[in-house]
């Protein structure tokens, strides 16, 4: 029988890969024949974490065969998952996002909690199963929490995430603040990437009000460094819209040091975007003070605006 594949969403971030590695390890300890895989290569931030804790990056898959047994982490929406997911046998989901565009033919284990990171939930599952966490697994889970909460600056961060990070840092034997800042900075090296690569670092698709919306997010320590390439980015966004059938492409560029973002928007309609954030787009841009979380501060506001 084939292995049970465990994976996060497309364009995987550190939680998508870290939670997959950790949950696959837990399931193995509980007697399941699992393998952590990924729906894309690790970004620089994730690779920094994998290298630090001497873990191999999961192999990348692009599709699965009908009837394949899978477990999903850090996502549930089919448009964010692997090709063939609708015909797969989904055995489990562990997630911290909204539930949408998801159904199964058979009962499954589903664990979803409103915390800042899927790996925070996975830690609970280790404790509930009384399974010891190896230092390297603790390290990649810690990395996921640091990434998803922007070292606890994101409004999605909860007290549970902070407590989990401290516990995991102790197991992994790292200084939480020093390691976390080094990891986040590793993910802001953008100068060597093409505009298309920047857009694809962390992008997800969302159906809203009959429109197909693509939302990408890039972390930086200098907004000007990214927007000096605005013309190049706009050209790439237009090409993506045309090639993939997106009505609208939004790029959220987040300053991780000052906890603000600037929005770049290409496509139509833009009126719901302006209404969602109470802004006026100027040269396709708008400043979003205090906005750092796509999940909590961007997607819900856009969804409400497009559906009204």
Same domain, 257 and 167: no
pTM as predicted: 0.83
Phi, psi of 41 (to 5 degrees): -75, 150
The answer, yes or no, to whether residue 234 has pLDDT greater than 60, is yes
Is residue 222 annotated as involved in ligand binding? no
The answer, yes or no, to whether residue 112 has pLDDT greater than 70, is yes
Confidence of residue 201 (pLDDT cuts 50, 70, 90): confident
Same domain, 203 and 79: no
Is residue 200 annotated as involved in ligand binding? no
* Final residue before a domain boundary, out of 173, 188, 203: 188
* Separation CA 261–CA 89 (nearest Å): 39
Same domain, 24 and 173: yes
In the chain, how many domains are there?
Answer: 2
Same domain, 148 and 213: no
Which sign does the torsion angle of CA 297, 308, 275, 12 carry?
Answer: positive
Same domain, 140 and 210: no
Same domain, 173 and 289: no
Q: What is residue 273's predicted lDDT score, i.e. its pLDDT?
A: 97
SS3 66: coil
- CATH code for the domain in which residue 291 is found: 3.10.310.20
Is residue 15 annotated as involved in ligand binding? yes
Q: Mean per-residue pLDDT for 193-208?
A: 91
Same domain, 84 and 148: yes
Domain that holds residue 160: 4-188
Pairing of strands 203-208, 211-220: antiparallel
Is residue 13 annotated as involved in ligand binding? yes
Q: What is residue 187's predicted lDDT score, i.e. its pLDDT?
A: 86
Length in residues, the chain: 308
Confidence of residue 189 (pLDDT cuts 50, 70, 90): confident
Contact 171, 138 (CB under 8 A): yes
Q: Mean per-residue pLDDT for 32-56?
A: 97
* Beta strands per DSSP E along the chain: 4-7, 34-38, 59-60, 69-73, 89-95, 109-112, 203-208, 211-220, 248-255, 260-267, 285-288
Q: What is residue 82's predicted lDDT score, i.e. its pLDDT?
A: 97
Under DSSP, the state recorded for 2 is P
Pick the closest to residue 201 from 153, 154, 254, 243 (CA basis): 254
Same domain, 158 and 33: yes
Same domain, 82 and 152: yes
* Final residue before a domain boundary, out of 149, 166, 188: 188
Same domain, 122 and 142: yes
Same domain, 153 and 242: no
Burial degree of 219 (CB within 10 A; 0-12, 13-18, 19+): buried
CB atoms within 10 A of CB 79: 15
Contact 102, 81 (CB under 8 A): no
Contact 250, 286 (CB under 8 A): no
Is residue 75 annotated as involved in ligand binding? no
Q: What percent of the chain has pLDDT over 90?
A: 92
Under DSSP, the state recorded for 80 is G
Q: What is residue 162's predicted lDDT score, i.e. its pLDDT?
A: 98
Q: What is residue 200's predicted lDDT score, i.e. its pLDDT?
A: 86
* Final residue before a domain boundary, out of 129, 160, 188: 188
Q: Mean per-residue pLDDT for 155-175?
A: 97
The answer, yes or no, to whether residue 1 has pLDDT greater than 80, is no
Is residue 175 annotated as involved in ligand binding? no
Q: Mean per-residue pLDDT for 82-102?
A: 96
Q: What is residue 92's predicted lDDT score, i.e. its pLDDT?
A: 98
Average pLDDT, the chain: 95
Q: State both tokens at 241.
A: 């819209």
Q: Tokens 């949950």 map to which residue? A: 23
Contact 285, 264 (CB under 8 A): yes
Same domain, 219 and 168: no
pLDDT digits (tens, 9 = 90+) for 70-89: 999 999 999 999 999 999 99
Q: Mean per-residue pLDDT for 181-203?
A: 89
Q: Mean per-residue pLDDT for 124-140?
A: 98
- CATH code for the domain in which residue 154 is found: 3.90.1640.10
Q: What percent of the chain has pLDDT over 70?
A: 100
């Amino acid at each position: 029988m084939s292995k049970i594949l465990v994976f996060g969403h497309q364009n995987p971030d550190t939680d998508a890969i870290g939670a997959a590695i950790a949950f696959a390890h837990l399931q193995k300890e509980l007697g399941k024949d699992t393998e952590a895989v990924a729906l894309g290569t690790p970004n620089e931030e994730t690779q920094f974490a994998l290298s630090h804790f001497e873990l191999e990056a999961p192999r990348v898959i692009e599709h699965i065969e009908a009837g394949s047994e899978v477990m999903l982490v850090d996502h549930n929406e089919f448009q964010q998952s692997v090709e063939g997911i609708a015909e797969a046998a989904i055995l489990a989901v562990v997630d911290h996002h909204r539930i949408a565009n998801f159904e199964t033919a058979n009962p499954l284990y589903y664990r979803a909690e409103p915390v800042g990171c899927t790996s925070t939930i996975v830690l609970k599952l280790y404790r509930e199963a009384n399974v010891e966490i190896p230092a390297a697994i603790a390290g990649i889970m810690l990395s996921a929490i640091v990434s998803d909460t922007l070292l606890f600056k994101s409004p999605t961060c909860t007290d549970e995430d902070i407590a989990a990070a401290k516990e995991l840092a102790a197991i992994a034997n790292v200084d939480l603040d020093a390691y976390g800042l080094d990891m986040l900075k590793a993910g802001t090296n953008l100068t060597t990437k093409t505009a298309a690569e920047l857009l694809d670092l962390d992008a997800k698709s969302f159906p809203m009000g009959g429109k197909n919306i693509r939302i990408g997010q890039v972390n930086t320590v200098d907004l000007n460094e990214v927007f000096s390439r605005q013309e190049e980015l706009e050209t790439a966004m237009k090409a993506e819209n045309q090639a993939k059938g997106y009505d609208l492409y939004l790029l959220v560029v987040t300053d991780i040091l000052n906890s603000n973002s600037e929005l770049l928007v290409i496509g139509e309609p833009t009126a719901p975007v302006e209404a969602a954030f109470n802004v006026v787009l100027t040269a396709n841009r708008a400043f979003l003070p205090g906005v750092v979380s796509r999940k909590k501060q961007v997607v819900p506001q856009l969804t409400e605006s497009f559906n009204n």
